[in-house]
Amino acid sequence: MEQRKLKNILVTGGCGFIGSNFINYLFGKSATGQKEFQDANFSGNIINVDCLTYAGNPENLKAVQDEFGGKRYFFEKVDITDSSQIERIFKQYDIDTVVHFAAESHVDRSILGPEAFLKTNVNGTFTLLDAARRYWGVSLDKKRDDVLFHHISTDEVYGSLGPSGYFTETTPYDPRSPYSASKASSDHIAMAYFHTYGLPVTLSNCTNNYGPYQ
């Protein structure tokens, strides 16, 4: 199958740890700002949507901003729960791909204050999914293979590691914290949009990460 050419990618949470590594990778930038990665073969545009909470730092993308800012890289300080702003961004930049990193992701913080996790992780994901559905005009009778919504989730949705020592895609969900419950909810909403509306959705349940910009 021919690889789909990425044109206008909406990256949420792109100033955070993993999101900024993703953007730097696509533009061929390493943690030192040098052009070291050559295998991304990316010639499109990135629209980075981040509301800059404690987890976001625009300095993570200084090398990208300096070289591509206003040309192929655009930053929008927007909350993903703001439906009117998200709708504007889809239209203004003609978004064809969403890579959804933005999330409240600190387990201990979720125990002390779960409301922010439900707002961002559940309502924010819904806002993005619905904006994509409406802008792309997809339905079960009108499917598209030239657009994609990729939802970044966590292995926390599966709960504690059982006797097998690993999780698979068919492992039942068993969230144990407000954080993991909010991410499990967002996963189910994303999958529901795939089954109900035919929205092209892929999902990855990532484990712990470490590296530059953490």
Q: Which residues are catalytic?
A: 155-156, 179
Q: Is 150 exposed, middle or buried (0-12, 13-18, 19+ CB in 10 A)?
A: middle
| Cβ pair 100, 126 in contact under 8 A | no
Interacting residues of 87 by C-beta distance below 8 A, sequence separation 6+: 131, 134, 135
* Paired residues of 206 in beta bridges: 154
- Distance separating alpha carbons of residues 193 and 195, to the nearest angstrom: 6
